[in-house]
Amino acid sequence: MSASYKKFNSDDLAELRKICSPDRVIPGAEVSEDFCHDELSGTFHRPDVLIKVASAEEVSAIMKYASKNRIPVTPRGQGTGLVGGSVALFGGIMIDLSGMNRFLELDQENMTLTLEPGVLLMEISKFVEEHNLFYPPDPGEKTATIGGNINTNAGGMRAVKYGVTRDYVRGLEVVLADGSIIEIGGKVVKNSSGYSLKDLIVGSEGTLGIVTKAILRLLPLPKFKLSLLVPFPDLSSAIKAVPAVIRANSVPTAVEFMEREVILAAEQFLGRKFPDNSSDAYLLLTFDAAGKEELDLAYHAAAHTCLEAGALDVFISNTTERNESIWSARGAFLEAIKASTTEMDECDVVVPRLHVAEFVLFSHSLQKKYGARIRSFGHAGDGNLHIYVLRDELKEEEWKKTLNAVFNELYAKAKTLGGKVSGEHGIGIAKRPFLAESLSPREDELLSGIKQIFDPLNILNPSKVVGTK
């Protein structure tokens, strides 16, 4: 497929330097290695040119040029993706949107925030919370851009109660493959006006268009928050308690499960003790509310439910310091596991809540079968699991074979349970074969057809999500 793209040359560079100021158009050889990969290990491709764009008009002009000359274009935020979505597989143009990072409007009456795609997730929460407003999606990677979050339909911890990024995107400005600029959705709360293009773009990983502006929906900020750390004798009893906890009185904002060995790894990694590490498995529940009484009612009901379901105790974390002691460890799990091995890959599968326990126990059983360490923690409340296969001392060949075999088993099992390939990281290149495998031929045709309509020349982030099967 790459053969059909125009070979990028110095004339192209000169032309692109007429669109954006030359200092923002960086030739491939001078592009920092950071832009040649994302957080997916083992994938490295250098773009022929990196353009740090400043406006939708610039993106539009670049797309017009790219489409006229058939040059592949890879949009990119902070490069924190986990599946290779923002890697320039075929070289060509990389559009860096991280410099388009302005807040454009906070509309307090409509409770919306209009912003550019390069704004970081952590900047959004800080900005809106100062105005007593709340942007609920809460993916772990706070230095990711909102553009990246929209393109992967990122989820995060609060999905149990509040849903995911798509639920908070009201409107988008998008530059299409031919350079036209469209505005879809808007500040409206309801919308039954034809097919929802906005919802198609959300989660499209830059394969259908480039998001240059977004209107996000906000909620009033819940002032009171509390976490419960609930020890259980084993993982199975912990996860089996989850459906009852979610049914009890008030939906928690987050339900996470964690095992002792991951906690110990985090303790070692941070050089700091977790408030409790005496049990094999824990649930971490969080609650938020507008008032203290409401919060107390919610957590009391959940605490009683946990004890009835076999919890050893229920520990209450009700201050900044206590929350910090728990969440700093929770935030370090991924890095701690990473530090404990040579290389790892992750399965971000999502299954219906009822089957979480079965799925996690199944993933554990694969450790013995394939002789590889497998670690997991994650969102027990929304069924999105993060299962890590660790390379340790395996040789390259053996590692690839083992990883593939384990992943095949995991995705096949997920499918039988009614699960999906990716809960929140997206497909990119890493999960493309598994997505293709999971789709029916008709579904596959529909996805490819949509891509064809939006991007007939296949220049927008090619071979991501859909494409070669």
Partner 1 sequence: MKIIVCIKQVPGTSEVEIDPKTGVLKRDGVESKMNPYDLYALETALRFKQTHGAEITVVTMGPPQAESVIREAFMMGVDHGIILSDRRFGGSDVLATAYTLSQGIKTSGGADLIICGKQTTDGDTAQVGAELAEFLGIAHVAGVSQIHELSDREIALDLDLPLHIESVKVKLPGLVCVEKGIYEPRLPSFRRKLETAGRDIKVYTLDDMVDTDPNHYGLSGSPTQVKRIFPPESTNTHESWEGSDAELAERLFELLEDRKFLQQLR
Site for partner 1 contains 101 (CB under 8 A): no
Supply the minimum distance, in Å, between the C-beta of residue 254 and partner 1: 17
**Amino acid found at 26:** I
The span of 151-159, 281-289, 308-316, 388-396 binding partner 1 (CB under 8 A) equals: 308-316
Measured at the alpha carbon of residue 211, what is the angle toward residues 5 and 4, in degrees to the nearest 5?
Answer: 5
312-351 mask for partner 1 (x: CB under 8 A)? Answer: -xxxxxxxxxx--x--------------------------
Supply the minimum distance, in Å, between the C-beta of residue 143 and partner 1: 16
Supply the minimum distance, in Å, between the C-beta of residue 467 and partner 1: 35
Measured at the alpha carbon of residue 127, what is the angle toward residues 122 and 128, in degrees to the nearest 5?
Answer: 105
The span of 306-314, 344-352, 360-368, 445-453 binding partner 1 (CB under 8 A) equals: 306-314
Query: Measured from the CB atom, is 69 or 318 closer to partner 1?
Result: 318
Of 385, 386, 300, 374, the closest CA to residue 341 belongs to 374
Site for partner 1 contains 307 (CB under 8 A): yes
Supply the minimum distance, in Å, between the C-beta of residue 239 and partner 1: 20
Supply the minimum distance, in Å, between the C-beta of residue 146 and partner 1: 20
**Amino acid found at 235:** L
Q: Is 185 left (phi over 0), alpha (psi -120 to 50) or beta?
A: left
Query: Measured from the CB atom, is 287 or 315 closer to partner 1?
Result: 315
Supply the minimum distance, in Å, between the C-beta of residue 345 and partner 1: 28
Q: What is the DSSP string of 73-93?
A: EEEESSS--SSSTTS-TT-SE
Q: What is the DSSP string of 119-133?
A: -BHHHHHHHHHTTTE
The conformation of residue 460, written as its DSSP 8-state character, comes to B
The tokens for 370 are 């394939």
Query: Measured from the CB atom, is 214 or 326 closer to partner 1?
Result: 326
Supply the minimum distance, in Å, between the C-beta of residue 314 and partner 1: 4
Of 433, 418, 390, 465, the closest CA to residue 200 belongs to 465
Query: Measured from the CB atom, is 2 or 132 closer to partner 1?
Result: 132
d(CA 334, CA 377): 9
Supply the minimum distance, in Å, between the C-beta of residue 101 and partner 1: 12
In the set 94, 303, 337, 347, which binds partner 1 (CB under 8 A)?
Answer: 303
Query: Measured from the CB atom, is 272 or 369 closer to partner 1?
Result: 272
Check: CB of residue 172 under 8 Å from CB of residue 185. Answer: yes
Supply the minimum distance, in Å, between the C-beta of residue 307 and partner 1: 7
Total residues contacting partner 1 by CB under 8 A comes to 21
Q: Which residues pair with 134 in a beta bridge?
A: 219
Residues within window 196-235 making contact with partner 1, judged by CB under 8 A: 228-229
Site for partner 1 contains 24 (CB under 8 A): no
Of 236, 228, 209, 208, the closest CA to residue 356 belongs to 236
Query: Measured from the CB atom, is 176 or 312 closer to partner 1?
Result: 312
Residues 6+ apart with CB under 8 A from 463: 1, 89, 90, 429, 432
The span of 6-14, 194-202, 307-315, 410-418 binding partner 1 (CB under 8 A) equals: 307-315
Q: Spell out the long-range contacts of 102-107 with Cβ–Cβ below 8 A and sequence spacing 24 or more.
A: 103/127, 104/213, 106/131, 106/133, 107/187
d(CA 343, CA 390): 6
Query: Measured from the CB atom, is 210 or 229 closer to partner 1?
Result: 229
Supply the minimum distance, in Å, between the C-beta of residue 81 and partner 1: 22
The tokens for 39 are 């957080």
Check: CB of residue 350 under 8 Å from CB of residue 423. Answer: yes
Q: Are strands 169-175 and 315-317 parallel, antiparallel or unpaired?
A: unpaired
Query: Measured from the CB atom, is 99 or 371 closer to partner 1?
Result: 99
Query: Measured from the CB atom, is 168 or 287 closer to partner 1?
Result: 287
Q: Is 449 left (phi over 0), alpha (psi -120 to 50) or beta?
A: alpha
386-405 mask for partner 1 (x: CB under 8 A)? Answer: --------------------
Residues within window 254-273 making contact with partner 1, judged by CB under 8 A: 272-273
What are the φ/ψ torsions at residue 394 (nearest 5 degrees)?
A: -65, 140
Supply the minimum distance, in Å, between the C-beta of residue 434 and partner 1: 36
Query: Measured from the CB atom, is 305 or 384 closer to partner 1?
Result: 305
Residues within window 350-369 making contact with partner 1, judged by CB under 8 A: none
Supply the minimum distance, in Å, between the C-beta of residue 44 and partner 1: 18
Residues within window 143-172 making contact with partner 1, judged by CB under 8 A: none
Query: Measured from the CB atom, is 242 or 326 closer to partner 1?
Result: 326
Residues within window 272-301 making contact with partner 1, judged by CB under 8 A: 272-276, 292
Q: Which residues pair with 174 in a beta bridge?
A: 182, 211
Residues forming the site for partner 1 (CB under 8 A): 228-229, 272-276, 292, 303, 307, 313-322, 325
